[in-house]
Structures are given as structure tokens and as C-alpha cells.
A and B are shown apart, each in its own frame.
Chain A
């Protein structure tokens, strides 16, 4: 079976500090990978998605970046955090290919920028 991991679970960082959130998937190959941000416990905003190693698509302009150094690893980064970067960050994966596939979500990282 497939499992998705995210760490850390919670993070408190000062404004201007760097950020690195990691997501890994087990039990599948060549998944599509996604980073979302959820603000105020409600709507989901898609930040990045990836269909393969080194292939990143950005949905919104921001001071965040994403990388996929390995097939099942997806990293969200920032060089300098802003207060507005606070939120709940969710990683998700789905099967690749032409089928109609649901996404499966990780447990999330709660980021507070102070």
C-alpha cells in the first residue's frame, strides 16, 4: 500500500528565516506530487505540482519554491519567510497517466511565522 509522509508536523519560524518542508511517498513509482496551502482552516490553494523529477509547475507567484530531487520526494522551500506564509501546508500524490485519479494527502505541516 501507499503511504505519504510530511515533516516536520509543526514549525515556528521568524520572519526572514529560510524554510524547508519535506514530503515523501512510499509504495508507488512516478506519482504526481502536489503542494497546497490551507489558510484559516478552509480553502485549499494549490502552490506547486510535479509530474516527474525536476519538473515543477507553479500555480501562484510567491516567495516559495519547490523541488523534486527524487521520484518520490517533494520539497517546499523559501529563502526568507514572510508573515503571510503562515498556514497549514499539505502535500498530496496521485497516480500518473491518463486516468481519473483522486489525490491522497499527507498529514500536513503547521507553519507559524512570527
Chain B
């Protein structure tokens, strides 16, 4: 069964550093998303991406965040100058004809 792959599974970073979270969506999907889930809280939408550009973003997705599809397979989320409150699970998702598929997530810990 096709799957969305995310790397790394766990990232620890110092406050103020930049991190890049990587995702490989399902190959024939056209819509890509990043969500995050702070421990004990609900899954929150960050950004959607279609046709090589952002189609929608939430108020969480401020100038600290950026997304990129640098080649035909990877979809990345960059977080600049990380803060303690950025610690969360970050899920990538892609959407095809049968709906959304989530990756297994990257646990980001900012110390």
C-alpha cells in the first residue's frame, strides 16, 4: 500500500536553530499538507500546497515557516529560529482520489 514517508522520525534541536522536516508524498498525489500536534492537543492545519505553491495557510504558519518541493518527490517544511513552543509532532499528508494519507510524523523537540 502506498505510504507517505517522513524523516527524521525524531529531531532534537536547540532553541534558535533552523530545522528542515522532510516528506515524500505518494507519487500520484497532487495536494500536500503539513499539520502539527502539540502533545495532548488536537491536530492543527499548517499549510496546503498545490501546483508548486501554497494554496492555503493557517495563522500558525507565519514567517518562521516555509515549505518547498525542491524536486519531484520531496516536500519539506523549514522552521527558522525554533522556539520551545514549536515542540510537537509534525505530520505530512498527501491527498489523492481516495482521500488523505498521513505520514508517521516527525517528533520535534526544541530544547
Tell whether A and B belong to one assembly: no
